[in-house]
Amino acid sequence: MFNRLASYWYGSSQENTADENSEDAIQRRNEQVRQKRLQQLQGEDLSSTTEAVAHQSCDEAASEQSSKASRHEPGNQPAEGTLSEPTNESKVTGSAVVKVIDPASVNLWAEFSEERTPSPEDNVTMKTRISQMISRVLRVTLTSDIQPPSQPKYLTMLLDTGSTTTVLSLDILDQVLFERVSMSAPELAECQVDCGGGVRDGTGFQPHIMPYLLACVGRADVEIRKHSEPSHQLRQAAVTCRNAALRMIGIVLLSNESWEPQDPAQQLLEGMLPNDSGFSLYSDSSNISIFQEVLSQDDVTSGDLVLMVTPILSCLTRKCSMVSLSNSRITISLLNVFTVLMANPVIVEIIPTLPGWLPRNRDDGRAYENTILGKFLSCSTIKTSSMRMTSYVSPFFNRSSALSPSVTQQSMERYQAILDDIQKLTSKFIYLLMKSKSRDAMLDWISSCIEANTNRAKLAASFMTMGSASDGFMLNLAAVLVNLSVPFLNPKNTKLQTIDVRFTAPNSTSKLPHSGVDTILDKSTLSEDDITSMGKPDSFNFVTFCFYATHRSLQLAFTSPFDKYRQLMKSLMETQQVLDSGGGRLSDEIRTRFEDMFIEQLEVKTHLLHPDVLAQVLLFYTTSASWLCHISLNEGVFTVPDIQRDFITFSAEEPSKMLAMVPSYFVSSTCQFLINTRYFAEAALENFVSENLDYLIAFLMVFSSSTWVPNPHTRAEIVEALTVFIPNHRTKSSVSTANRERAFCSNSIAVERLGRCLIALFVDVEQGAEFQYKFQYRYHIFEILEYAWQNNFNIHKLSLEVRNREEDTTVLFTRFIKLLLNDANFLLDEALHGLEEIKKIEVLQDNEEEWNKLDAQTKQSKLRTMAELKRMCTSHNMLANETIKCIMYMTSRSNGVTEEDRKNVTFAFVTPLLCDTFVTMLNYYLKELVADTQVKYKIKRFEDVKFRPAVLLQSIVTIYINMKHEPAFLAAISRDGRSYYPELFADTATKLNKLTVNDDVIRELQEVSEEVEKMMISQEDEEMLTDKAPSHYLDPILGTLMVEPVLLPSSKVIVDRSVIAKHLLSDPIDPFNRQPLSMVDVIPQNELKDEIGRWKNEELQKVKDN
């Protein structure tokens, strides 16, 4: 329609025989319009044959109309307030000929013709009122004889419309508008008419085309609102004016370049955006909807759309340089304009073809920030690495440490609300592309962006992000993809069944990169036949892509900012301690640094810990947990999971092979998010729906098994993630855990599996490359183990297996106790040694004479050594405290643990395999804590290294009391000639009295002492017997009298069962010939056992007789 009208107005009568929508036709029409417009601007005469004919036709029609008007013949003019019937008459506008084609006028004329026939007086009045209304809307007039105050202050007089009357009418609206927008600024100045009174708003003289036309639409809306009845003639006339203005906007955009020096497309975009001081005079929030109307008119072809929108899109991409969170009005407005345009299926296909859609170097992760979409994703309160290199001043928080918490919170919430708006509009931007023919281009952008930023997932991510997109960019991308996942974010949503696990199969054709990514089960689990049998889909549905892309983006997004936030919080605490410790000449500098760090912490917190985003991400991971559990329980290599199946109580012996296609970061990133959320935004966890917590707990418990997740590192993350469901005593959090605890303690899978999973992991981390992290892992195991032990999770039931197989070194609980004792021994020894070394340096520092003899370099070396010693000593003390505490509560009476069960646990500590190791460790450290030599460990500040000697002493004493009913334990104490001495318990009681310990504790310790004394007397008799015993009664390894002799099958050597069992616990070979050996292989020597027993009884009787 617009091209046709434009060609009429510019005098083109050529028939367009080419395809209206073809690119050549569009270019040809645009060039015709442009050339004609340039000729008009240059004042050239239009002399084509077609125009001459049109002029003649127009002059004749105008003459006939003038004649009728001068005679005022009834019936020769339309009734007042109605439109003249459409004719083929033409009007002269400026130097161009205008063919009037107005479908809207036709429709209106038909409606008006149904009204009553007005009187001649009414006709004159209505014609005048319509003319005045047109003047008010278009700010134009055909005469200078205007009676105030019926019109605005100024109007533009049109002298060359070809009309012979001074009354504006609806049938010449198109000509009038075209003449008005064709006038230059000097022409407008010359043609201003002072109407006397009225409103002085300056819009009549508006020289810019689009501001004028938008204002016309707005004024037409005002006139329409004045008359509420649809049939009112003035209302219908105002609608006609409005439609004419909309048509003219489209016509102008069709030939944007032809209106030089003006740029109508730029003007229109400015009309839809706020300026620096708010909204410009001509812009309005309704201008976007006005533009939508222009695009959606019935006669607009796809070719018209491309011509109209292309210059707008060019302006939009240039405007994207202004996008930022601090310039939020412009940013949101630009996104609004984009989404308005992209709602059209023709326009949305143009977006990926625009310059700047993809970066020049697609392997440069940071380059994606400068793409069209990347500009919006880069909006963040988190400053980029480049900002840290300059004198950065936060645009969001101004010395916020001096503000009240309420003001700071309000600022954070304001920026979080803006981020919400940007993320939702960006989600819409992507969604519109996804559901269009440009879907592949959008998928390609996301895939390429993720691939270019994969180094963010590596260890030490904070050092690996220099060539990657910023934290804010990745957080926004993740949030946007989570928004797109909302339709299937529910653990029971049947759409989860459409997620194709083959997306990351070895033979996958997916766009998202996954090569080199570890899987939950080793990839070798899948045979070639398995891979072939599962098939190879040509493409994957949107739900599958969105699910995998969201998982990957979340992994890449949160690792680095959480790490940086943790470092910021640590630095803030350290700096606060320096400030609290006193003044000094650097106090002002330190305070300034503290405030700068506090502002940076607020910036990171605002974006990273957005509560709504955290809640959505938590729901995504819960949904993922449900899907993972269901596919892990499925049979076969590739089967569709039944998402309605209740896996909460389901147990399977083996996981599905499908886990060999699922990236391991599906599990690890879920755990890391839970852990970080616990530390920094615990309320998000507590407010989570209880039913959804059940899915997370079940997922963690299912995948904590070594059968499901062979990697101990990943399982250690799972155990740490389980700590989010119990009270956080270490940080003394003020957030309640009631909701999480209730879900955890009532989860049947957790109650059934937790104990074995914890103990198995404790044992597994001893081996392999994870040894260096074992104490870190065990620290978290201790946290959850203590809670589970005291809350009826049946972990103590595992000790029953020891009672039945006390000499079997493969029993899980036996291996656990052995490692527990080894850890306690190692950690306490390292901690005390560290204290001793720190003490030496402190003594040297206190000796000024000796300290001053050292040169500066030596002093610095000593101080660095002491700092490192303190760091290591702190770690060792913390872990030693947890290990001793674990032994203490495991051997104590606990809620839900019967006395019989407790005795089974204590028995595990005193089996022949472990008893001596256990007792030797306790005796040694008890002696170190109570002896006079402990002064060598007494540094200036025990709290600096987490050393709590009083607490440690009481814990060890409690263990002695807990074990006093075990004869083997008491006997082992009496046999320990290294650390035990007769006054040990008396010295301990003296120390406890100084600590004001309960008298009952001291009394029970005295009972232990008395029992040990009795055992010592018996032990002396045993030693005497050993000296007299025949050599074949003695164990060849230790030289002690054998109690239960057994034959080693390969070496044929007879040894004591307890001695060889202890040896095999650490080295499963025959000590005499290095052949493999286990306790099931040894052969009892019952005859020799009876012989030794008879001899022993006879010798003891002789002793008694003497």
- Distance between CA atoms of 79 and 71, rounded to whole angstroms? 16
Structure tokens at 240: 């006609």
Look at residue 764 in the predicted model and tell me its pLDDT: 87
CA angle 130, 134, 135 (to 5 degrees): 115
Torsion of CA 930, 935, 937, 939, to 10 degrees: 130
Q: Tokens for 885?
A: 């505490």
Q: Quick one: what percent of the chain has pLDDT higher than 90?
A: 36
Residue recorded with tokens 């005295």: 1006
Res 278: pLDDT: 39
Is it the case that residue 104 has pLDDT exceeding 60?
A: no
Amino acid found at 970: L
**Tell me, what's the pLDDT at 84?**
35
CA distances in angstroms from 1031 to 442, 585, 912, listed in the order given: 85, 79, 22
Going by C-beta distance under 8 Å and a sequence separation of 6 or more, which residues neighbour residue 56? none
- Going by the DSSP 8-state scheme, the letter that residue 526 receives in this structure is S
Paired tokens of 859? 């002093």
Residues 6 or more apart in contact with residue 356 via CB below 8 angstroms: 317, 320, 370, 371, 372
**Residue 252 and residue 291: Cα distance in Å, rounded?**
13
Rounded distance between C-alpha atoms, residue 518 and residue 772, angstroms:
21
Residue with tokens 């020289």: 207
pLDDT at residue 101 in the model: 27
Task: Pick the most confident of 387-396, 434-443, 489-498.
Answer: 434-443
Looking at residues 1080-1105, what average pLDDT do you find? 86
Instruction: Check residue 78 and report its DSSP letter.
Output: P
Ranges 80-94, 375-389, 633-647: which has the least confidence: 80-94
Cα distance between residue 547 and residue 557, in whole Å: 15
Alpha-carbon distance of 765 to 705, in angstroms, equals 13
- Cα pseudo-dihedral 631, 637, 638, 643, rounded to 10: -20
C-alpha–C-alpha distance, residues 896 and 788, integer Å: 11
- Structure tokens belonging to residue 391: 């004198």
Q: pLDDT digit string (tens) for 64-73?
A: 333 333 333 3
Q: Which residue from 601, 608, 606, 517 is spatially nearest to 557, judged by alpha carbons?
A: 608
pLDDT higher than threshold 70 for residue 565: yes
Amino acid making up residue 667: V
Lowest mean pLDDT among 589-598, 647-656, 826-835: 647-656
8 A C-beta contact, residue 80 and residue 170: no
Q: What are the tokens at 854? A: 């050292």
Categorize the per-residue pLDDT at 986 as very low, low, confident or very high, splitting at 50, 70 and 90: very high
User: Which of 39-53, 260-274, 417-431, 1015-1029 has the weakest average pLDDT?
Assistant: 39-53
Which whole number is the average pLDDT over 824-834? 93
Span 993-1005, pLDDT tens digits: 888 888 899 999 9
3-class state of residue 1098 by DSSP: helix
Q: Which residue has the higher pLDDT, 470 or 190?
A: 470
Residue 585, token pair as written in the block:
């000449």
- Other CB atoms within a 10 A radius of the CB of residue 538 amount to 5
- The two tokens of residue 827 are 């950690």
DSSP state of 728: -
Question: Above 50 in pLDDT, residue 87?
Answer: no
Alpha-helix residue ranges (DSSP H) falling in 581-681: 587-608, 611-632, 665-680
User: Cα-Cα-Cα-Cα dihedral of 173, 178, 182, 183, to 10°?
Assistant: -10
For the chain, the straight-line distance linking the first and the last C-alpha, in angstroms and rounded, comes to 130
> Angle, to 10 degrees, between the axis of helix 287-295 and the axis of helix 328-342?
20
More confident residue, 584 or 728: 728
> What does the pLDDT read at residue 1099?
82
Q: Within 13 Å and on the Cβ side, how many CA atoms surround 97?
A: 25
Cα–Cα distance, 480 to 242 (Å, whole number): 38
CB contact set of 456 (below 8 Å; sequence gap of 6+) = 365, 464, 465, 468, 474, 556, 557, 559, 560
Query: In the prediction, which pLDDT does 375 show?
Result: 95
Range of weakest confidence among 153-157, 235-239, 416-420, 733-737: 153-157
* 376 within 8 A of 419, measured Cβ to Cβ: no
Q: What stretches of 66-107 adopt beta strand conformation (E)?
A: 90-93, 96-99
pLDDT of residue 70: 37
- In angstroms, the CA 652 to CA 306 distance is 59
Most confident of the ranges 598-612, 788-802, 1026-1040: 598-612
- Within 10 Å of residue 355's Cβ, how many Cβ atoms? 9
Characterize the bridge pairing of strands 1045-1047 and 1083-1084. Answer: antiparallel
Distance CA 650, CA 911 (A): 36
Distance CA 657, CA 59 (A): 87
> In the β-sheet with 140-141, what is the strand arrangement from edge to edge?
140-141, 154-157, 192-194
Q: What is the DSSP string of 849-897?
A: HHHHHS-HHHHHHHHHHHHHHHHHHHHHHHHHHHHHHHHHHHSS--TT-
Provide the 3-class DSSP secondary structure of residue 1016: helix
600 vs 606: CA distance, rounded Å:
10
Which of the given ranges, 86-90, 308-312, 381-385, 795-799, has the highest pLDDT on average?
308-312
pLDDT of residue 912: 80
- Judge whether 800 and 756 are in contact, CB under 8 Å: no
- Structure token digits, residue 375: 């500009």
Provide the 3-class DSSP secondary structure of residue 390: coil
Asked if 644 and 492 count as a contact pair (C-beta separation under 8 A), the reply is: yes
Q: Residue 167 carries which DSSP code? A: S
| Residue range 192-211: mean pLDDT, rounded | 68
pLDDT band at 124 (very low <50, low <70, confident <90, very high): low
* pLDDT, mean of residues 551-566: 93
User: In 3D, which of 887, 896, 894, 892 has the Cα closest to residue 914?
Assistant: 887
Q: How confident is the model at residue 75 (pLDDT cuts 50, 70, 90)?
A: very low
Stronger pLDDT, 390 or 918, i.e. the higher one = 918
One-letter amino acid identity for 217?
V
Mean pLDDT for the stretch of residues 294-301: 85
Q: Tokens 């109690």 — which residue? A: 1043
**Res 826: pLDDT:** 93
* Range from 9-13, 504-508, 519-523, 1040-1044 carrying the lowest mean pLDDT: 9-13
The pLDDT, as a whole number, for residue 800 is: 79
Cis peptide before 149 (omega within 30 of 0): yes
Q: Which helix (H) or strand (E) holds 741?
A: helix 738-745
Bond preceding residue 261 cis, omega within 30 of 0: yes
pLDDT in tens, 700-713: 988 888 888 888 88
* Short-list 569, 541, 549, CA closest to 478: 549
- Determine the angle formed by the axes of helices 856-890 and 812-846, rounding to 10 degrees: 150
* C-beta neighbour count of 479 within 10 angstroms: 29
Mean residue pLDDT across the chain: 80
1077 within 8 A of 1054, measured Cβ to Cβ: no
